[in-house]
Each structure stands twice: as C-alpha cells, then as structure tokens.
Amino acid sequence: MKKVKLSLGDRSYSILVSKGLIKDICKYTSSFFPGKKVLVVSDTTVGRLYGINCVEALRKGGMISEIINVPVGEKSKSIEQLDKIFNKLSRLKVGREDGIIALGGGVVGDLAGLAAATFLRGISLVQVPTTLLSQVDSSVGGKTAINTIYGKNLVGSFFQPRVVLCDLETMFSLRQREFRNGLAEVVKHAVIRDESFFDFLEKNTSKILNRDSRSLEKIVFRNCRIKGDVVEIDETERGLRQILNFGHTLGHALESLFGFSKKLLHGEAVSIGMSAVAQMSFSAGFCEKEDVNRLQKLLTSFKLPIKLQKAPSLREVKRYVLHDKKVRDGKPKFVILKKIGNVESGIELNSQLWSASIEGKLV
Ligand SMILES: NC(=O)c1ccc[n+]([C@@H]2O[C@H](COP(=O)([O-])OP(=O)(O)OC[C@H]3O[C@@H](n4cnc5c(N)ncnc54)[C@H](O)[C@@H]3O)[C@@H](O)[C@H]2O)c1
Ligand SMILES: [Zn+2]
C-alpha cells in the first residue's frame, strides 16, 4: 500500500492507494464516524458495481449504513440531488459524529463533498474515488461543488475529507475512454511539476494503457503527491494552485461549447487545451519546440486528442473563455509552458492565436 500525507494543520489527512480498500472500508474509516452512521453516496453504475459490497462491509464492521445512488452524469451536480441527500441524511438522523462516504467519480465526489460540507454545518467526509480522473485529481484538494443554470461549479466550498481511499481494483471496470480521460490529468501533473515522472509516462505508455497494476499504483501515488504538494502550499487557490489549471482555460471553453456532453469529455478538452497552450507558449517564446512535441506525442500515445479538425470561431471561443469564473477584468490569464516540469501562471496570450492553436496550426 502507498500513502500520501497531506499536511493542512487540523485538516490534514492521508490518501491510501492500494487494491481491495473497499472490502476493508471499516478498518480505514470507522474512527472518523464515532456515531456509527454512514450514508454512502454513489451513482447508479458505481452503486451497482461496488455500493452493495461497500455497505455490507460497513454493516459487518458494526456501522449503520445506507446508500443513495444518484443518476449517472454531470446533471446530478444539482441542487435537486443535494436536497435528496439532505433528506436522506435527515431521515437517517445523521448527527455530527456521523458522516458520508462518496463512492464514485468526480460527480459523486463533488456533490457528496458539498453535502458533507454543509449538512449540520459539516460532517465527516471520506472520499472513495472510482474513476482515474477522480483518483488522480478531483478527490484530492477539497474542492466541492454543484452546477447552476448559470454555470459549472458555481456553488461550492473548500472542504477536506478525513481520508481518501483509492482502490485500484475499481480501475478495471472503467471504460477505456473514461480511463484515458483521467490520463489527461496525469499528463498535466507531470508537465507542471515533475519531468522525471513525465519520462516514466513516456517509457510506459502501453503498460499504462493496459492498466498494469504496478504502473497504476505508481501513477495514482505520484499524482496525489504532486497535487497534494501544490494544495499544501496553497489550499484555497490564491497563488500556486493556479498552475493546476494548465490546459484548462481553453479546455473549459471547449467543454462549454460542446455543452458538457459525451461528445467531448473533460480530459479530452484539457488535452486539446494543453496542446494549444503549449503551442502558444512556443509562439510567444516561453518554451522550445521540442517541449511542445514531447507533450503532443505523449497525449497522442495515450490516444487523447490534441486538436479539433475545425476550431470554433474566435468570437465563440472568446465568449466562453471570458465567461469563465476565473477571468477578472475581461483578461484571461493562462498557465504557460516553460519546459516539461515547469509552468508559469498568470500570463496573457494574444487572443488571435487561440483558434489556430486549437486546430493545431501554430507548431
Ligand atoms: N473537485 C475537484 O477538484 C475536481 C477536479 C476535476 C474534476 N472535477 C469534477 O469531476 C467531474 C468529472 O469526474 P469523472 O470524470 O470521474 O466523471 P463521473 O463521476 O461522471 O464518472 C464518469 C463515468 O464513469 C462511471 N464510473 C465511475 N467509476 C466507475 C468504475 N469504477 N467502473 C465503471 N464505471 C465507473 C460513472 O458512473 C460515470 O458514468 C466533473 O463534474 C468535474 O467538474 C472536480
Ligand atoms: Zn481538470
């Protein structure tokens, strides 16, 4: 088993990475729920695959546990589903000594996280991420949120879990496209902080795509450490944490343009966004062409897209970029590439280059 410790004062916690954690869930979580009541929040797919075993394991360990399965997909990050969770918690008479286990991908993690952050002004939360994206990214760092009709993640809070359990066994039931979706964030973490990890990814692409157990353990562990290091320094995104948005400025705009649909998954949009910003970084003289080539080659070998055949018009891209909640004074700031393993946030880039970079025409 590998362990990443996050030092955040009285909000410190560990991330455990291993196979078979769900089976032994009581061992790793019961101390956080002295009142013995736990609501497992999942979605209908993950609930069917792992929820029943999870609840049974909790009950065997003497906990009083129930499960609520929200519908699969982004739409569940809503006030309606949050309300359903609050009602279920109330019916179960969940108190301050009890808590929530979020069992699922980033959707469940964000929704259940917000429920835990707000019910009774905060009850214990355990994250059990089951997609690669949630194991390497969304379950680490304490961001929770739901969407409103005005935009994504508009209502949320920073709320750290008591422990994160990355059960590697859950990786084997993921569809290949969902798995690759998470690899985009894996590449991102390597690019922003760790060239030797980037080398490892380059040398082990086929093992990783085949979900070799040791490679999986290594990538989940390294990613949690990289993101954890950034979060330890800047928990609430006032400075350094912004580098985690590498590839996300244009990525988010593309996701919005595609209506957050299955046509373009988050990781796929981020992959195009990373490739685009790397090209612009080269054009603006921040990095070498070789760095852009390496990044694009790695993304391609993970079968991730690095461009759109036809980019949306500049007007359209601008509309979505400027709509991003992180944009202030109408001037979007990018995280640019300096070299593999090193990026810089807060840089303006010429908007005339945006569309061409999305089409892969700059380098
Ligand atoms: N909080 C953060 O810091 C943060 C960071 C990045 C992304 N996010 C959020 O995460 C969400 C995306 O997360 P996601 O990509 O995990 O999507 P998701 O939660 O929708 O899961 C993707 C699909 O995989 C299925 N699934 C999950 N685990 C499975 C398993 N083990 N086997 C088979 N199928 C499984 C789900 O049912 C779903 O259909 C977005 O809402 C995004 O905003 C949050
Ligand atoms: Zn992301």
3-state SS, 331-350, equals CCCEEEEEECCEEEEEECCC
Per-chain mean pLDDT for the chain = 95
Residue of the nearest CA to atom 5 in ligand 1? 138
Is 169 in the same domain as 229? no
Is 181 in the same domain as 149? no
Helix (H) or strand (E) holding 227: helix 213-233
Q: Which amino acid is at 15?
A: I
Is 166 in the same domain as 27? yes
Which stretch of 190-204, 274-288, 319-333 has the lowest confidence by average pLDDT? Answer: 319-333
Q: Which amino acid is at 321?
A: V
Asked whether residue 363 is domain-assigned, the answer is no
Is 225 in the same domain as 255? yes
Q: Domains in the chain: how many in total?
A: 2
Structure tokens at 350: 């010429």
Residue of the nearest CA to atom 42 in ligand 1? 106
Q: Which ligand is nearest to the CA of 185?
A: 2
Percent of the chain with pLDDT over 90: 87
Asked whether residue 140 is domain-assigned, the answer is yes
Please provide the size of the chain in residues: 363
Give the global pTM: 0.96
Rounded distance from Cα 107 to ligand 1 centre (Å): 5
Asked whether residue 238 is domain-assigned, the answer is yes
pLDDT in tens, 289-321: 999 999 999 999 999 999 998 888 888 888 888
User: Could you say which of 108, 141, 173 is where a domain stops?
Assistant: 173
Highest mean pLDDT among 91-95, 258-262, 346-350, 352-356: 91-95
Q: Which domain holds residue 297?
A: 176-358
Is 150 in the same domain as 205? no
Alpha-carbon span 70 to 108, nearest angstrom: 8
Residue 218: half-sphere exposure toward Cβ, Cα within 13 Å: 15
Is 58 in the same domain as 99? yes
Asked whether residue 111 is domain-assigned, the answer is yes
Q: Which residue has the tokens 């595609």?
A: 258
Tell which atom from ligand 1 comes closest to the C-alpha of 265. Answer: 15
Is 249 in the same domain as 124? no
User: Could you say which of 140, 173, 206 is where a domain stops?
Assistant: 173
Ligand 1 lined by 223 (C-beta under 6 Å): no
The mean pLDDT value for 263-274 works out to 96
Alpha-carbon span 105 to 177, nearest angstrom: 14
Structure tokens at 322: 């400027």
Is 145 in the same domain as 218? no
Exposed/middle/buried for residue 38 (C-beta within 10 Å: 0-12, 13-18, 19+): buried
Ligand 1 lined by 107 (C-beta under 6 Å): yes
Is 180 in the same domain as 304? yes
The mean pLDDT value for 276-285 works out to 97
Ligand 1 lined by 78 (C-beta under 6 Å): no
Alpha-carbon span 37 to 39, nearest angstrom: 7
Is 204 in the same domain as 330? yes
Closest listed residue to residue 157, CA positions, set 175, 181, 136, 141: 141
Residue 237, domain CATH: 1.20.1090.10
Catalytic residues: 121, 143, 185, 227, 237, 241, 245, 248, 252, 266
CA-to-CA dists, residue 194 to 197, 241, 251, 296, angstroms:
5, 15, 22, 17
Asked whether residue 114 is domain-assigned, the answer is yes
Asked whether residue 240 is domain-assigned, the answer is yes
3-state secondary structure of 161: coil
Is 127 in the same domain as 225? no
Q: What is the model's pLDDT at position 203?
A: 98
Ligand 1 lined by 217 (C-beta under 6 Å): no
Q: What is the model's pLDDT at position 10?
A: 94
Is 59 in the same domain as 195? no
Ligand 1 lined by 244 (C-beta under 6 Å): no
Asked whether residue 63 is domain-assigned, the answer is yes
Q: Which ligand is nearest to the CA of 113?
A: 1
Tell which atom from ligand 1 comes closest to the C-alpha of 152. Answer: 43
- Contacts of residue 354, Cβ cutoff 8 Å, sequence gap at least 6: 250, 276, 280, 314, 317, 318, 321
Which stretch of 5-9, 215-219, 259-263 has the lowest confidence by average pLDDT? Answer: 259-263
Q: What is the model's pLDDT at position 276?
A: 97
User: Could you say which of 143, 173, 203 is where a domain stops?
Assistant: 173
Res 322 pLDDT > 90: no
Residue 91, domain CATH: 3.40.50.1970
